[in-house]
Amino acid sequence: MSLMVAKHAGFCFGVKKAIEIAEETALKSKEKTYVYGQLVHNERVIEDLQKKGIEFVENIDDIPENAVTVLRAHGEPGTTYKKLKSKNIDNNNNLKDATCPLVTLVHNVAIKLKNNGYEVIIFGKKNHPESIGTSYHIKGKDTFIVEYPEDSGSVIEHINKNNFGKVAIVSQTTMSVNGYDKLIQNINKNFNDKFEQLSLNLKDMGKNFVFVDTICNPTKQRQSDTEEIAKKADVMIVIGGKNSSNSKELAAKSKEFGVQTYFIQSVEQLKEEWFNNKENIGVTAGASTPDITINEVTDRIKEITSM
């Protein structure tokens, strides 16, 4: 019997940094610290920070004037900064921005493409704060977001209907690498293979139909490790927050290999019968899962299986 734990599992540097910023801000501030939205998509992390006196608000109107405020790792549209500024909260005054630099990179890529005449389309989740934030840097609510590779037809329809001569596709940082490949393949199948890859440094913007690989490296590492383990495992445990896009992608990736996969948030959800007659057990975790949760899960699996 073996227990395989993904080498890259749990917090990525962007999530670690966001938590550090929130904790340090709350520690130094004499006033209450507000975080706009879920700082990271993990319920336990949020509860821990709430215990440290941090208040999470979903509605920006609930942040009082002059309040010490932290912005989440997923990035925000310009409208958020404007609204906060009207409350006298900005970078010079009480605002700590925990946006991950790799999300900012996607914003910058999208803006540069737009400024060079491209209609920018996002491969991402329509309700995810990162895609919403990126879309506001392009065309606001009118930015076209495609969620699934199977929806490639809607991308072609959007291009043809509007007669766009230059189109660029970028991805939310936490999407599936295989899913992005599949989307481009599906589009190209019915679009005369027109879409070509443009490197992240955006050299050669003379091409009319391009896609840029903006999935972040920590997401890629977690996906490839999960793939490695899922190929060998009889059962896979994927740990991550319910709203965590990258964790859900890991569970989907594991299922692609036909292995029995359970997506859990905490050790309490493990069931002994999942491990009956299983020889090879795999464990992986999304980028917002704390080490303590991963360790609790692996310890409990060892206990159940008498490893």
Sheet holding 280-285, edge to edge: 2-5, 280-285, 235-239, 260-264
- Measured from the CB of residue 130, what is the shortest distance to ligand SF4 in angstroms? 7
The Cβ of residue 286 has, within 10 Å, a number of other Cβ atoms equal to: 30
Indicate which single residue of 229, 251, 287, 297 sits in contact with ligand SF4 (rule: CB under 6 A): 287
Q: How many residues bind ligand SF4 (CB under 6 A)?
A: 15
Q: Cβ closer to ligand SF4: 247 or 298?
A: 247
Closest chain position to ligand SF4 (CB): 14
- Measured from the CB of residue 103, what is the shortest distance to ligand SF4 in angstroms? 5
One-letter identity of residue 95:
L
**Cα dihedral sign for 25, 16, 51, 71?**
positive
- Measured from the CB of residue 41, what is the shortest distance to ligand SF4 in angstroms? 10
Q: How many residues does the chain have?
A: 307
Q: What angle do CA 92, 53, 27 make, to 5 degrees?
A: 50
Residue 25 binding ligand SF4, by CB under 6 A: no
Site for ligand SF4 in 208-247 (CB under 6 A): 216, 218-219, 246
**Three-class SS of residue 197?**
strand
Which residues neighbour 151 within 8 Å (Cβ) at sequence distance 6 or greater? none
Residue 173 binding ligand SF4, by CB under 6 A: yes
Query: Would you tell me the crossing angle of helices 245-256 and 177-189 to the nearest 10 degrees?
Result: 70
CA 171 – CA 144 distance, rounded (Å): 12
The Cβ of residue 159 has, within 10 Å, a number of other Cβ atoms equal to: 19
Query: Would you tell me the crossing angle of helices 13-28 and 43-51 to the nearest 10 degrees?
Result: 20
Q: Cβ closer to ligand SF4: 73 or 270?
A: 73
Residue 102 binding ligand SF4, by CB under 6 A: yes
Q: What is the phi-psi region of residue 39: left when phi exceeds 0, alpha when psi lies from -120 to 50, beta otherwise? A: alpha
Q: Cβ closer to ligand SF4: 10 or 149?
A: 10
Residue 15 binding ligand SF4, by CB under 6 A: yes
Q: Cβ closer to ligand SF4: 134 or 298?
A: 134
228 assigned to active site: no
Indicate which single residue of 73, 110, 236, 281 sits in contact with ligand SF4 (rule: CB under 6 A): 73
Residue 69 binding ligand SF4, by CB under 6 A: no
Binding part of the chain for ligand SF4, among 9-17, 148-156, 202-210, 224-232 by CB under 6 A, reads 9-17
- Measured from the CB of residue 102, what is the shortest distance to ligand SF4 in angstroms? 4
Which residues here bind ligand SF4, judged by CB under 6 A? 12-15, 73, 100, 102-103, 173-174, 216, 218-219, 246, 287
